[in-house]
Amino acid sequence: MSILYRASGPVTLVGGGPVEDGMLAEALALAPEAVGADGGGDVILPGGYRFAAVIGDLDSIRDADRLRAAGVPVHRIPEQDTTDFEKCLRSVAASLYLCVGFAGGRMDHHLAAMSALVRHPKRPAVLIGPEDVAFLAPRTLAFDAVPGMRVSLYPMAPATGTLSRGLRWSVEGLTLAPDRRIGTSNIAEGERVAVAFDRRSVIAVLPRETLPQVAELLTRAAETGEM
């Protein structure tokens, strides 16, 4: 699939699921270029922002003509083998993808978005939900924490921990898998957490207030080849 839009930096992807104004504002403050994923193009952006493009199979958007009349490119990709989220990840070039409207609504959409994170490991993408952010952990994930903060590690495929620092329950030497042991609801013991796994198949889920730090660490990981 060819690139349909090249962002000058990070981009906010807007899906057709629930989108809180505050959630959208947080994403746009860090990634001011916005791309709508099909029905996400119907979302009214805050003043001063406009969609750079809308991409998808266009089976959900209600008012594509309004966008075209406003000069917004609307790209139809008819194939049905991938979700609109994946279509955007493949056809938008950006340094980082902050994604709203893909989590917190329909559970099947949420699961599909989580799968897309693993299917596209070179795309540093963050799913932003009402309470949490979720992203595919880099080879080594190290971040500042508040003691007592919830740290969840969910394996989308088997992965063995090779490093674990600052967590109440160590994952070093443990093999996590969806049908066996998982790593949800762990707790930060100190002010710094570091984990690593032998393969990139683990979704990290952190509180939503960590978004600025997560955006920075994923951007850095992409720049240094740690993705």
Closest by Cα among 102, 193, 100 to 150: 193
Confidence at residue 1, expressed as pLDDT on a 0 to 100 scale: 67
Mean pLDDT of the chain, nearest integer: 95
Categorize the per-residue pLDDT at 44 as very low, low, confident or very high, splitting at 50, 70 and 90: very high
- Give the per-residue pLDDT at 48: 84
Domains present along the chain, CATH in parentheses: 5-130 (3.40.50.10240), 140-203 (no CATH)
Q: Taking the complete model, does pTM exceed 0.85, yes or no?
A: yes
pLDDT of amino acid 79 = 86
* Cβ(55)–Cβ(87) below 8 Å: yes
Q: What is the mean pLDDT of residues 65-87?
A: 93
Q: How many CB atoms lie within 10 A of CB 208?
A: 15
